[in-house]
Structure 1
Amino acid sequence: MIGRLRGILVEKQPPELLIEVSGVGYEVQMPMSCFYDLPDIDQEVVIYTHFVVREDAQLLYGFNSVQERALFREVIKANGVGPKLGLGILSGMSASQFVDCVEREDISTLIKLPGVGRKTAERLVIEMRDRLKGWNSFDLLQSPDSLQSENKIDTGSGASSVDEEAVSALIALGYKPQIASKMVSKVMKPEMSSEAVIKEALRAML
């Protein structure tokens, strides 16, 4: 079991990153709610991981804190919810929003998440409402005020590459290409970073 990685952040391609640890590069998938807090390339990073072994792949999912990983593990315990869907859920809304939706049995909001139909949303509510009672809710997403620091110019890429990277990230999280492209076009503004575009697109979809 790989539970924690400490190394140099080599690549960031939402929602995936590459971390070099003692000469070994680990490919990690991370919810966008955690991705926003990553340091710059070539900086040291510490992440907590959830290791998934399948017949055709071995996958690492990364989180900035033990609490974020714990919530992910609770989410994927629900019947019919695998790691990929869990990644999409925690990218599309904050922990506090998710807990609130479950407590209020807000099916209409849950079904706006990629890959979550009515039956899946109902299962999430039924199976998780007891497990999440008393959960010390914490917001995985930064406040809107923090967008100012995110909306910096990406000197290594132009607007078109920012647009393409944001659309690709949303598709990887489970959104249909047409919807992803439409939402990116709707929220994108000059000088926004790809991460800021992704965050605003995810907010707009709820």
Structure 2
Amino acid sequence: MIGYLRGRLLEKHPPFLILDVAGVGYEVEASMNTFYRLPELGTEVAIYTHMVVREDAQLLYGFVDRQERSVFRELIKTNGVGPKLALTILSGSSVESFVRCVEHEDIATLVKLPGVGRKTAERLIIEMKDRLKNLTSIPRGLQQSSHSSLPAMEPMIPVVDEKREAETALIALGYKPVQASKAVETVCRTLAKDASAEEIIRLALRGMISQ
């Protein structure tokens, strides 16, 4: 199993990123909380991962630190919650916010996440309450190396439509196309034209969760 990757950040198209590790490109699906903390393309970075092996695919999920990965692993143990939904939950809510929702039995906030209905929210609260107590906070998070030992290489910087990329990411997280488009258009009215996809997604998620 692959639990940790350290390499050069080659591409990032939320919620996917590609890390060049010794010439091998690993495609990783990451939570948006991780994406918000990613450095510039071409920078060396290290992330914690969780690998899911299926009959038709081998999938890697990436996280900002071991605590977020631990919560992800507890989430997928919950009845009815798979890796996709677990990643959506951690993208729409920080670990701290999710823990608060569970501790305070805040169903109203949980059901605002795509794919989380009332029954799922109730299961999360019942099944996660005891599990979260056993998790330890680990301060060491996503690392960026200032002295890269990798050979110099120009990053691949594709031409990207930030608004469209933000919409695509929201749809990948489980939001309906109409919801994603409306949320992106709303936040873009107040953002600078050169706003990044990550910033658009962050504000769009915040807006939809707070409604």
Q: Structure 2 regions of 5+ residues with no counterpart?
A: 140-156
> Which residue identity does 1:33 align to in structure 2?
N
1:151 aligns to what?
A: none
Confirm or deny: 8 A CA contact 2:10 2:20 kept in the other structure. Answer: yes
1:181 aligns to what?
A: 181
| TM-score between both structures, scaled by the size of structure 1 | 0.87
1:70 aligns to what?
A: 70
Q: How many residues align?
A: 189
Instruction: Provide, for residues 72-119 of structure 1, a one-character-per-residue CA deviation record: whole Å limited to 9, x for no partner.
Output: 111111111110001100000111110111111111110110111111
The match for 2:195 among 192, 197, 200 is 192
Note the 1:35-46 alignment, pairs <5 A.
35-46=35-46
User: Helix, strand or coil: the match of 1:114?
Assistant: coil
1:34 aligns to what?
A: 34
Confirm or deny: 8 A CA contact 2:71 2:132 kept in the other structure. Answer: no
1:202 aligns to what?
A: 205
> Which residue identity does 1:104 align to in structure 2?
H
Q: Structure 1 regions of 5+ residues with no counterpart?
A: 140-154
| TM-score between both structures, scaled by the size of structure 2 | 0.85
> Which residue identity does 1:7 align to in structure 2?
G
Instruction: Provide, for residues 156-180 of structure 1, a one-character-per-residue CA deviation record: whole Å limited to 9, x for no partner.
Output: 757xx11100000000011110001
> Which residue identity does 2:167 align to in structure 1?
V
Note the 1:1-206 alignment, pairs <5 A.
1-133=1-133, 135=135, 157=159, 161-188=161-188, 189-190=191-192, 191-206=194-209
Q: Please, which moves more after superposition, 129-138 or 162-171?
A: 129-138
Question: CA separation in 2, counterparts of 1:101 and 1:135?
Answer: 16
State the structure with bigger RCO (CA 8 A, min sep 6), 1 or 2. Answer: 2
User: Helix, strand or coil: the match of 2:109?
Assistant: helix
Shift of residue 36, structure 1, vs aligned partner: 0.7
Confirm or deny: 8 A CA contact 1:48 1:66 kept in the other structure. Answer: yes
Question: CA separation in 2, counterparts of 1:124 and 1:156?
Answer: 39
Confirm or deny: 8 A CA contact 2:88 2:113 kept in the other structure. Answer: yes
> Which residue identity does 1:4 align to in structure 2?
Y
Shift of residue 134, structure 1, vs aligned partner: 6.4
Confirm or deny: 8 A CA contact 1:9 1:42 kept in the other structure. Answer: yes
Shift of residue 133, structure 1, vs aligned partner: 2.8
Confirm or deny: 8 A CA contact 1:99 1:137 kept in the other structure. Answer: no
